[in-house]
């Protein structure tokens, strides 16, 4: 009974801390410049391991404005569906190919997008801390042009109770990512993203995450800030 009570208290405390971080990040960004936008993004993913080496992932997500043009709103911006096929090379390394379709034309006067992704991932484990390096190259096809983007993400996650993650317990995820986008019609653009998240292993095959993400776009030209409040639910089949 005491252990269950401690888990509940820890889960509530971690959630409140993350909400506070989200409030502080969004508050600082909104006061910094009026161009800052705040979004809500929700994702649902299905994952299946065919064997120890090969797995597939299908994800459906949507994105909506929460704050834009100095007004608080809730307006849908896009929906998208994505697929990844991943192959483990060994215990630490994997490669993956992805295909994504994003639709914005239904919600605003904007081009839809088809995206191809190539990925290499390497992870290391130090006691309870798991560290991951992810490299991605992307080809983003729009109506009038094609963009090429290169991404590097450093992430770590760690259980918040005990030495390993058990059902009903929470974990912390922290990611930061650098991006470079190149097209024929614009100057190369640099971006940076940082995101703390809290996750919970709801059952053996189901986990939930809530996080806040700060994005700095076009930092080599004229920085534009945006804040994302993200939720995701992943089911392993």
pLDDT tens for each residue of the chain, 237 residues long? 434 434 444 444 444 444 444 444 444 444 444 478 999 999 999 999 999 999 999 999 999 999 988 889 899 999 999 999 999 999 899 999 999 999 999 999 999 999 999 999 999 988 888 999 999 999 999 999 999 999 999 999 999 988 888 899 999 999 999 999 999 988 999 999 999 999 999 999 999 999 999 999 999 999 999 999 999 999 999
pLDDT confidence of residue 161? 87
Q: Is 86 left (phi over 0), alpha (psi -120 to 50) or beta?
A: beta
Cβ atoms 158, 171 nearer than 8 A: yes
Angle 229-194-57 from CA coordinates, rounded to 5°: 70
Core vs surface per residue 27-46: b (16+ CB within 10 A) or e: eebbeeeeebbbbbbebebe
Which residues partner with 235 through β-bridges? 46, 206
Domain with residue 42: its CATH number is 2.40.128
Burial class (CB in 10 A: 0-12, 13-18, 19+), 179: buried
Distance CA 178, CA 190 (A): 7
Provide the number of structural domains found in the chain. 1
pLDDT value for 30:
43
Asked if 220 and 189 touch (Cβ cutoff 8 Å), the reply is yes
pLDDT of residue 28: 46
**Buried b or exposed e, range 82-96, using 16+ CB within 10 angstroms:** bebebebeeeeebeb
pLDDT value of position 12 = 45
Q: What is the pLDDT of residue 102?
A: 98
Please state whether beta strands 93-103 and 71-88 pair in parallel, antiparallel, or not at all (unpaired). Answer: antiparallel
3-state secondary structure of 105: coil
Give the predicted TM-score (pTM) of the model: 0.83
Strand positions, DSSP E, the chain:
37-49, 54-68, 71-88, 93-103, 113-126, 129-141, 146-159, 170-182, 189-203, 206-217, 224-236
**What span, in angstroms and rounded, lies between the C-alpha atoms of 59 and 73?**
26
pLDDT computed for residue 68 by the predictor: 87
CB neighbours of 5 closer than 8 A, spacing ≥ 6? none
The 3-state DSSP class for residue 188 equals coil
- For residue 146, give its domain range: 2-236
Provide the token pair at 74. Answer: 């809730």
Q: For residues 137 and 4, what is the distance between their CA atoms, to the nearest angstrom?
A: 44
């Amino acid at each position: 009974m005491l252990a269950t009570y401690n888990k509940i208290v820890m889960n509530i405390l971690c959630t409140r801390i993350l909400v506070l971080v989200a409030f502080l990040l969004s508050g600082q960004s909104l006061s910094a410049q009026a161009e800052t936008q705040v979004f809500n993004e929700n994702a649902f993913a299905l994952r299946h391991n065919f064997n120890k080496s090969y797995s597939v992932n299908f994800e459906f997500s949507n994105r909506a404005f929460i704050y834009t043009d100095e007004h608080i709103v809730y307006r849908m911006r896009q929906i998208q569906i994505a697929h990844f096929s991943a192959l483990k090379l060994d215990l630490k390394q994997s490669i993956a190919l992805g295909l994504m379709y994003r639709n914005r034309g239904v919600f605003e006067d904007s081009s839809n997008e088809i995206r191809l992704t190539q990925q290499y991932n390497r992870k290391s484990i130090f006691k309870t801390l798991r560290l991951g390096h992810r490299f991605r190259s992307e080809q983003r096809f729009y109506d009038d042009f094609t963009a090429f983007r290169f991404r590097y993400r450093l992430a770590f996650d760690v259980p918040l109770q005990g030495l390993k993650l058990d059902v009903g317990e929470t974990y912390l995820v922290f990611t930061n990512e650098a991006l470079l986008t190149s097209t024929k019609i614009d100057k190369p653009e640099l971006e940076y993203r940082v995101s703390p998240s809290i996750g919970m292993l709801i059952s053996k095959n189901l986990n939930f995450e809530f996080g806040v993400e700060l994005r700095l776009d076009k930092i080599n030209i004229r920085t534009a800030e945006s804040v994302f409040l993200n939720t995701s639910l992943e089911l392993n089949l």
